[in-house]
Amino acid sequence: MNLKTYQYWRIVLVAIIGAVAAVSVAIGNAYILLSAVIAGMIIIIVLRRMVKEVIADERTYTIAYKAARLSLSIVGIGMAVTGATLLAFSRDNLSATLAQVGFALLYATCGLLMINLAAYTYYSRKLGGKNE
C-alpha cells in the first residue's frame, strides 16, 4: 500500500468513526462509540504496517515537538489566567459557580504542569546529561 492510499483510507475511517460517534450520542449508547474507536485504532495500526513508504520521520517529530510545546504554553497560560480571573471575580460577585470553574481551571493547569514535569524528568533521564 502506498502513502496516498493509506491517507485516503484514514480519512474514510475517521469519517465513519465520526458518524458512529454521532449515532451513539443520539441513541445514548457509549459502548458503540468505545467499540468503534478501539476498532478504528486497530485498523489504523494495521494499515500503517501495510505502508511501505516512510510515513513519519525526524522532521515530522520536530514539527510535532514544536507544536506541542507551543500548545502547552498557550493552554497552560490561558487556563491559569482565566482561572485566576474567574476566582477574582467570584470574590466580588460572591458567585459560587465562577469560583468552581476558576478552581477547576487552576487544578487542570496544575495537572497539566505535573504531567509535563513527569514527562520532562523521564526524558531527561532517558536521554542522559546527568553529572556522573
Site residues for another protein per CB under 8 A: 53-60, 62
What are the phi and psi torsion angles at 94 (to 5°)? 55, 40
For the stretch 51-54, contacts whose Cβ atoms lie closer than 8 Å and that sit 24 or more positions apart, written own/partner, are 51/1, 51/2, 51/3, 51/6, 52/1, 52/2, 53/2, 53/3
Nearer to another protein, 64 or 114 (CB): 64
Nearer to another protein, 28 or 128 (CB): 128
Nearer to another protein, 70 or 81 (CB): 70
State in angstroms the smallest separation of the CB of 88 from another protein: 39
State in angstroms the smallest separation of the CB of 77 from another protein: 24
**Cell numbers 513527569 correspond to what residue?**
118
Nearer to another protein, 4 or 91 (CB): 4
State in angstroms the smallest separation of the CB of 59 from another protein: 4
Q: How far, in Å, CA of 27 to CA of 113, rounded?
A: 37
Q: Using CA atoms of 58, 59, 64, 69 in order, give the dihedral in degrees to the nearest 10.
A: 100
State in angstroms the smallest separation of the CB of 50 from another protein: 17
